[in-house]
């Protein structure tokens, strides 16, 4: 911002257990991808920084880690599947070389051993004829195949955490299903924990055990996926769920039109203000919402919502 500093992520706290899958869900601009970049130590230089707080990983604070230490952890112990594989992959190197580079850098493998492992990884992510496809360049592959290459790169070093940022963006539904099946199988085999970032509630129900709904850089609701979807306690969560289209034999009168959450996410200048940032879009908003930031209300040990009216929902 030209005017100064804005808290893009505001007072966000969560835990991730070994082998657990968690999803961050919300509209574009709510802070999901910035959360992932902060964990990876990849915030835009000169624009973003972690102003306060800690990011604990294996007893180590990543915020305080040196650039060299972060390079060792990134790609080795924490892998990431970026949103757009065509721009994330290097167009002038074959996909096999790009996978092998990660193995040489982090695992110390020779060129020959790294190339052989790269072929095995392409086979593991179900790319046909992996020996031949390893020599292909990104532009010679389909969108689904490029995404599989990104998964192979992210999992090459068997990381403890895998971050998937909109892993099925721009892929058709059949390829999306294949990618989800692949991620599930690979997680079962490796025990890797998953952080999935998405705006798709269907993907959340498909892939995650626990979910965090984000709005304007803040946590709106958190809990097990089945509990949150069945008993959402925040009007924003309820709005996201109601936006999901349903296939039915006959449209009822109330489902003639696709539901939507009215309004738009507030601008960065409003982030961090001491009130409910969803109030201008919320039919339940009262004077208290417009003047005071809502406290997080716990409905169980695992289900929480930051809304003044959560108990009445």
Residue 148 near residue 88, CB atoms below 8 Å: no
Q: Is the pLDDT of residue 278 over 70?
A: yes
Q: What single DSSP character describes residue 110?
A: -
What are 130-136's contacts with CB under 8 Å, separation 24+? 133/95, 133/96, 134/94, 134/95, 134/96, 134/99, 135/94, 135/96, 136/94, 136/95
Angstrom distance (rounded) from CA 121 to CA 150: 11
Share of the chain above pLDDT 70, in %: 95
Sign of CA dihedral 117, 121, 127, 128: positive
pLDDT at 202: 85
Specify the residue for token string 């409905």: 299
pLDDT-derived band at 252, boundaries 50, 70, 90:
low
pLDDT on residue 38: 93
Q: Residue 248 above 80 pLDDT? A: no
List the single range of 83-87, 151-155, 194-198, 199-203 with lowest mean pLDDT.
83-87
pLDDT for the residue numbered 3: 57
Q: What is the mean pLDDT of residues 24-36?
A: 92
Residue 5 has pLDDT above 80, yes or no: no
User: What domains sit in the chain, N to C, each tagged with a CATH number?
Assistant: 21-208 (3.40.50.300), 231-312 (no CATH)
**Whether the predicted pLDDT of 1 surpasses 50:** no
Q: Locate all alpha helices (DSSP H) within the chain, ordered by sequence.
A: 32-40, 67-73, 85-88, 95-107, 111-124, 130-133, 143-155, 173-190, 201-207, 225-230, 235-242, 287-291
pLDDT band at 74 (very low <50, low <70, confident <90, very high): very high
Tell me the pTM. 0.90
């Amino acid at each position: 911002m030209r005017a100064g500093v804005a808290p893009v992520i505001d007072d966000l706290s969560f835990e991730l257990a070994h082998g657990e899958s968690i999803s961050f869900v919300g509209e574009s601009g709510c802070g999901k991808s910035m959360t992932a970049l902060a964990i990876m130590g990849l915030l835009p230089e000169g624009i973003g920084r972690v102003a306060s707080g800690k990011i604990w990983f294996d007893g180590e604070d990543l915020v305080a880690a040196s650039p060299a230490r972060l390079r060792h952890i990134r790609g080795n112990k924490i892998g990431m599947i970026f949103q757009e594989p065509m721009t994330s992959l290097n167009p002038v190197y074959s996909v096999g070389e790009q996978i092998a580079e990660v193995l040489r850098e982090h695992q110390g493998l020779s060129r020959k051993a790294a190339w052989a492992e790269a072929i095995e990884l392409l086979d593991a992510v179900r790319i046909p004829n992996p020996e031949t496809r390893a020599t292909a360049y990104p532009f010679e592959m389909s969108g689904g195949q490029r995404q599989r290459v990104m998964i192979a790169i992210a999992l090459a070093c068997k990381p403890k955490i895998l971050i998937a940022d909109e892993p099925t963006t721009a892929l058709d539904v059949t390829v999306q299903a294949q990618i989800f099946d692949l991620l599930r199988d690979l997680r079962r085999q490796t025990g890797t924990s998953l952080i999935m970032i998405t705006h798709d509630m269907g993907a959340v129900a498909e892939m995650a055990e626990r979910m965090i709904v984000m709005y304007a850089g803040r946590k709106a609701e958190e809990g097990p996926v089945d509990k949150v979807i069945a008993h959402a306690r925040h009007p924003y969560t309820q709005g996201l769920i109601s936006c999901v289209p349903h296939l039915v034999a006959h449209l009822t009168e109330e489902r003639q039109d696709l539901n939507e959450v009215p309004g738009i996410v507030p601008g960065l200048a409003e982030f961090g203000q001491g009130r409910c940032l969803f109030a201008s879009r919320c039919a339940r908003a009262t004077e208290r919402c417009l003047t005071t930031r809502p406290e997080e209300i716990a409905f169980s040990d695992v289900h929480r919502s930051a809304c003044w009216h959560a108990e009445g929902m």
